[in-house]
Chains A and B, each alone.
Chain A
Amino acid sequence: AQTVTQSQPEMSVQEAETVTLSCTYDTSESNYYLFWYKQPPSRQMILVIRQEAYKQQNATENRFSVNFQKAAKSFSLKISDSQLGDTAMYFCAFMIFTSGTYKYIFGTGTRLKVLA
């Protein structure tokens, strides 16, 4: 079974500090994509960062970076210099190509609150 586990339902961080959100997943596929999505309160979900499983180099997007450990099936998100606008639900997800379709599996989310 394909699963995504986010073990931290809620987290908080002081503005300008660094925070790391955890994600583990389980799949028997060797080729897949991993994603972090951000869903601000009452606003739509947007892509934060993505990682191709075949790439060893960790993805980085400005203040957002990931620590991808393929053998451990771990995909954590680090947010540096946290800003009030980072307050949101963060969903970890992975995508596989199977039976002719792209299949997305989402975690249950981590609610991040950035404190002033």
Chain B
Amino acid sequence: EAGVAQSPRYKIIEKRQSVAFWCNPISGHATLYWYQQILGQGPKLLIQFQNNGVVDDSQLPKDRFSAERLKGVDSTLKIQPAKLEDSAVYLCASSPETSRETQYFGPGTRLLVL
């Protein structure tokens, strides 16, 4: 079975620019998570989807971050405009309905904001 796919793997932008990340979860996984992992820290949940609905976005900086999962499959996370402190690895994870407590992570997108 294919794992969680993310692209791009690396992105370098200047502050105030926009950037978008894409995630394709494991086939059939209804729950999708976006995490931000700053260097030296553990992952912090940004947003959680159940199918195409948002179930938790309490830690998403909504003034600059947005995410969507329109057809309940793949998802896009956008930052507009980016700040220096957004430099981090953005991880996508998914969970199956039969074992929602277990997450499968993608390789992440490493973002550097200059």
Q: List residues of A whose CB falls within 8 A of some B CB.
A: 4, 33, 37, 43-47, 50, 91, 93, 95, 99-104, 106-109
- Decide if A44 touches B105 in the complex (CB within 8 Å): yes
Please encode chain B, from 20 to 58, with 1 for each CB lying within 8 Å of some chain A CB and 0 for all others: 000000000001010000001111110010100001100
Q: A47-B102, A101-B50, A107-B42 are in contact. List 4 more A-B contacts (CB 8 A).
A: A100-B55, A102-B31, A104-B103, A106-B44
Closest to B95 in A: A102
Are A43 and B42 in contact, with the CB atoms below 8 A?
Answer: no
Q: Say whether B42 contacts A108, CB under 8 Å.
A: yes
Check if B73 is an interface residue, CB within 8 A of chain A.
Answer: no
B42 contacts A50, C-beta separation under 8 Å: no
Q: What number of residue pairs across chains A and B have CB atoms under 8 A from each other? A: 50
Chain A CB within 10 Å — which of B91, B101, B102 has the most?
B101
Give B40 Cβ to nearest chain A Cβ, in Å: 7
B101 near A91 (CB under 8 angstroms)? no
Cβ contact within 8 Å between A101 and B55: yes
Give the number of residues in B that approach A within 8 Å (Cβ atoms).
25
Contact of B43 among A91, A99, A103 (CB under 8 A): A91
B103 to chain A, nearest CB (A): 7
* Smallest beta-carbon distance A96→chain B, Å: 10
A-B contact pairs, 20 of them (CB 8 A): A43-B107, A44-B3, A44-B107, A45-B91, A45-B105, A46-B105, A47-B103, A50-B101, A50-B102, A91-B42, A93-B42, A95-B101, A99-B56, A101-B55, A101-B56, A102-B31, A102-B48, A104-B45, A106-B44, A109-B41
Pick the contact of A106: B31, B43, B48, B50 (CB < 8 A).
B43
Q: Which residues of B contact A33 (CB under 8 A)?
A: 101
Alpha-carbon distance A14/B3, docked complex (angstroms): 32
Asked if B100 is an interface residue, CB under 8 A from chain A, the answer is yes
Question: In the complex, which residue of chain A has the Cβ closest to the Cβ of B41?
Answer: A108
What is the minimal beta-carbon distance from B59 to any residue of chain A, in angstroms? 10
Contact B42 A4 (CB under 8 A): yes
